[in-house]
Amino acid sequence: MNLNTLYNLRWTVLPPVVGVAITVMAGLALVSAPTEVVEGDVQRLLYVHLPSALASYLSFGITAVCSALFLITRDFKWDAGAQAAALVGLIFTALTLITGALWGRPIWGVYWQWDPRITTTLILFLIFAAYLVARKSSELDNERIARFCSVYAIIGFLDVPLIHMSVRWWRTLHPQPIVSRLDPALPTEMLLVTLFSVTAVLLVAVWFIVLGVEIELLSQRLLKIKGRVR
């Protein structure tokens, strides 16, 4: 499936697929998944926390790739993709931080811990918040701000490997990875629900990004029309 096919499915196939996936995910996470013995029901936040973190990595990755493609081709459709993915990434990073804080309170006794991975995720949030603020508030011409933000997004994205690896680089309160390794530490039922949740949330992220691209392309067209009228 190429990108154009995916884009053409934004109002037909993607909404029902995403709707069904999220409904099934909610059912699996809240009812079917077994209750964790030590942490209890609060552990169910895993089914939102981990997929949100992965969705934010995916979104920021798309932002970085689209930004690089924009710098090479100077085609504004890539800039639209970068902007849309940055916004979606920001939403999912916020969700990751919020669910992490809610999970941390009963388990660690605090909402926030200055753990390297959590801190780096917060930094990532600030970087892409600054990216979007610059996009929306700068009075530089469209081409210059697009170039500026593309460079900024690529540099910002290079923080993501630091986030992923930091849990292994520094001693930390944050648990070691339990899914993204050869012998996952989760029981099979929990692992299956987690994998389904990841798929469902990634589908939501992709759909949001596709809708965001449409909004950006429409606003680019509107700007062109306004320019011609003037």
Which residues of the shown chain bind another protein in the complex (CB under 8 A)? Answer: 71-72, 119-120, 123, 126-127, 130-131, 133-134, 137-140, 144, 147-148, 150-152, 154-156, 158-159, 162
Query: Considering the complex, what minimum distance in angstroms separates the CB of residue 121 from another protein?
Result: 12
**Considering beta carbons, is residue 102 or 154 the nearer one to another protein?**
154
Query: Considering the complex, what minimum distance in angstroms separates the CB of residue 162 from another protein?
Result: 7
**Considering beta carbons, is residue 13 or 130 the nearer one to another protein?**
130
**100: enclosing H helix or E strand:** helix 76-108
**Considering beta carbons, is residue 6 or 123 the nearer one to another protein?**
123
Q: How far is CA 125 from CA 86, 90, 97, 109, 160, in A?
A: 10, 6, 9, 24, 11
> What is the radius of gyration, based on Cα positions, of the chain?
19
Q: Which residues contact 108 (CB under 8 A, 6 or more apart)?
A: 173
Query: Considering the complex, what minimum distance in angstroms separates the CB of residue 119 from another protein?
Result: 8
Q: What are phi and psi of 204, to 5 degrees?
A: -60, -45
Query: Considering the complex, what minimum distance in angstroms separates the CB of residue 151 from another protein?
Result: 4
* Contact status, residue 172 vs residue 114, Cβ threshold 8 Å: no
Query: Considering the complex, what minimum distance in angstroms separates the CB of residue 174 from another protein?
Result: 17
Query: Considering the complex, what minimum distance in angstroms separates the CB of residue 132 from another protein?
Result: 11
Q: Which residues contact 98 (CB under 8 A, 6 or more apart)?
A: none
Question: What CA–CA distance (Å, rounded) separates 72 from 147?
Answer: 10
Reduced to 3 states, what is the DSSP secondary structure of residue 163? Answer: helix
**Considering beta carbons, is residue 127 or 193 the nearer one to another protein?**
127
Q: Which has the closest alpha carbon to 164: 118, 210, 204, 130?
A: 118
**Considering beta carbons, is residue 144 or 224 the nearer one to another protein?**
144
**Considering beta carbons, is residue 7 or 112 the nearer one to another protein?**
112
